[in-house]
Amino acid sequence: MEDDNEVIEVPEAPPPPPPIDPALVTEAEAAKDEANKNFKAKHFAAAIEGYTRAISLNPNNAIYWSNRAAAHIKLENYGAAVADAEKATELDPKYIKGYYRRGDAHFALGKYKLALKDLRTAAKVAPRDPDLRKKLAECEKEVKRLRFEEALAVPESEAISVLATLDLSMYDNIEESYTGPRMQGNPTDGYVITEEFVEAMLEEFRQQKTIHKRFAFEIIRQAHTLFRSLPSLVDVTIPDDKHFTVCGDVHGQYFDLLNIWKINGKPSPDNPYLFNGDFVDRGSFSCEVIFALLAFKLLHPEHMHLTRGNHESKSMNKVYGFDGEVKAKYNGSMVDCFRELFCALPLAYCLNGRVLVLHGGLFSQDGVTLEEIRKTNRFREPPEDGVMCDALWADPSPVPGRTPSKRGVGLSFGADVTRTFLDANGLDLVVRSHEVKEEGYEVEHEGRLITVFSAPNYCDQMGNKGAFVRFNGNDMVPHFTTFSAVPHPDVKPMAYANSFLMGM
């Protein structure tokens, strides 16, 4: 275990590199300046291209590497950001932003001890930097919290179900002042969700109000019971004369979720949906999104489906806002209930035996079968490798084979991996989410892999469209609908996130 009080030494500067043609240096600076303009305009992918060109012309400039790391952080490519920041600090051990960037990326990955080491190294160079001091204090707090949790941790086999022991009697006497929607039934005989309740709840959320804690806990508990009964891979049959809609990440963008249902209709037996993970975090209406999705799942259990995403996890929720939002709008006990609920969400769905839908992507080894996914133990926090990790975190790549992930978790896989997996399992297509796309979707890997992302103008800054994909049961050909962001109340994304991230 690392010592929090270890002595941090700033590395010595390396020998100076051989000189570069001044014309190339000038060209590299021009590429960097153009990339900086794209960064300020929030065109982060274009910024990365510009910094990459600058690096190719002059690889000895630490600023280029650090700037590219910053752009990677904006696109959540934390593994790539760590590598670039590492190079910046190698070129110039006293370049403070190199340590900053690497610390930011490590923090975003939940690697608080590594982040703390980077920030302490930076503090040796710039001990009076106010932003650095603030980040250092926040990181030290997270490391202390982590150590406290580790000290109290019990083996998974001994963990007690929060939902199974949940006593809701303290919420049974609903205050007369509560004017919001009420579930049908009572504490003695049980509560039943109705269409009237769901419609009233959606409107309550639109007005930035909450539902009573008694009903909120009831929705979580009933949904958990339902999800626990499902396998890790669920088979869905779409009749020839019916259709089926798959949506990608929503990320707490409640008003854009309502717009999807305005465009395509609400979930019902005649209009089934699958929401493919990452319902929460980043957007500041995550409670509204998850309760809306769960309520429709309870109302139409055979026609509303939810896949687990990498943000339906403890480590992500602590950093990216969901924990803070639940505590602000409801209470801390509900955070633990959501943790347990998220661990019950299926990892994948197979549509008509032809289309596999999962949040991240394919696997680090050949030979994975649908049956293996079906039997994977998902009732836990995501591990750092294996089938479950890959299903939540992997990304497609234009490069053949398997390569390290730019995220720092999972892997990247090429078209050959997709082809081999689909052919071996008798499938036509993979549908996944997990990545923002300019048009809301992208078709790649010889047309056999689709990414769909349903959070338009992601985090109020990316300018992307959202999309959903619709299949008809008779042919299972994908049909895409794209849409733009709609206005929402003046609550900024990440409003409930860890304050460390505000400076990233």
Question: What is the DSSP track for 87-125?
Answer: HHHHH-TT-HHHHHHHHHHHHHTT-HHHHHHHHHHHHHH
Decide yes or no: CATH 1.10.287.980 for domain 184-490: no
Q: How confident is the model at residue 436 (pLDDT cuts 50, 70, 90)?
A: very high
Find the mean pLDDT for residues 39-56. Answer: 95
Q: How confident is the model at residue 293 (pLDDT cuts 50, 70, 90)?
A: very high
Q: How far is Cα 252 from Cα 257, in angstroms, rounded to an integer?
A: 9
Which of 95-99, 132-136, 153-157, 367-371 is least confident? 153-157
pLDDT the model gives residue 504: 64
**Cβ(293)–Cβ(280) under 8 Å?**
no
pLDDT the model gives residue 339: 97
* Beta strands at 466-472 and 478-483: parallel, antiparallel or unpaired: antiparallel
pLDDT at position 5 over 60: no
Q: What is the DSSP letter of 194?
A: -
pLDDT the model gives residue 420: 98
Helices 62-74 and 44-57, packing angle to 10 deg: 160
pLDDT at position 3 over 50: no
Q: How confident is the model at residue 127 (pLDDT cuts 50, 70, 90)?
A: confident
Highest mean pLDDT among 36-45, 116-125, 163-172, 197-206: 197-206
More confidently predicted of 11 and 206: 206
- 3 state DSSP class of 295: helix
Domains 22-152 and 184-490 are alike in CATH topology: no
Q: Summarize pLDDT for 363-402 with one digit per residue, the tens.
A: 999 999 999 999 999 999 999 999 999 999 999 999 999 9
Q: Which of 224, 303, 305, 311 is catalytic?
A: 311
Q: How confident is the model at residue 498 (pLDDT cuts 50, 70, 90)?
A: confident
**Cβ(250)–Cβ(282) under 8 Å?**
no
Find the mean pLDDT for residues 195-199. Answer: 98
pLDDT the model gives residue 475: 97
pLDDT the model gives residue 470: 98
Find the mean pLDDT for residues 434-463. Answer: 96
Which of 154-168, 225-239, 334-348, 474-488 is least confident? 154-168
Which of 1-5, 67-71, 213-217, 466-470 is least confident? 1-5
432 alpha carbon, distance to own chain's centre? 13
**Cβ(241)–Cβ(474) under 8 Å?**
yes
pLDDT at position 10 over 90: no
Question: Exposed (0-12), middle (13-18) or buried (19+): which is 227, by Cβ within 10 Å?
Answer: buried
β-pair partners for 185: 191
pLDDT at position 2 over 50: no
More confidently predicted of 170 and 14: 170
CA dihedral 65→66→68→69, nearest 10 degrees, is 120
The CA-atom distances, in angstroms, between 210 and each of 180, 202, 273, 297, 387 are: 8, 10, 25, 19, 37
Find the mean pLDDT for residues 413-433. Answer: 98
Phi–psi pair at 396, nearest 5 degrees: -75, 155
CB atoms within 10 A of CB 109: 21
Per the annotation, the verdict on 488 as an active-site residue is: no
* Beta strands at 348-351 and 233-236: parallel, antiparallel or unpaired: parallel
Q: Summarize pLDDT for 230-285 with one digit per residue, the tens.
A: 999 999 999 999 999 999 999 999 999 999 999 999 999 999 999 999 999 999 99
Find the mean pLDDT for residues 423-438. Answer: 97
Residue entry with tokens 């205050």:
175
Least Cα distance to 87 among 51, 116, 33 occurs for 51
Phi–psi pair at 61, nearest 5 degrees: -100, 115
- Domain definitions of the chain by residue range: 22-152, 184-490
Which of 125-129, 184-188, 214-218 is least confident? 125-129
Its CATH architecture, for the domain 22-152, is: Alpha Horseshoe (1.25)
Find the mean pLDDT for residues 183-209. Answer: 96
CB atoms within 10 A of CB 382: 26
Q: How confident is the model at residue 146 (pLDDT cuts 50, 70, 90)?
A: confident
Average pLDDT, rounded, for the chain: 94
The CA-atom distances, in angstroms, between 280 and each of 138, 215, 383, 388, 390 are: 23, 19, 20, 19, 20
pLDDT at position 1 over 50: no
pLDDT the model gives residue 149: 80
More confidently predicted of 2 and 173: 173
pLDDT the model gives residue 333: 95
pLDDT at position 25 over 90: yes
Find the mean pLDDT for residues 114-142. Answer: 89
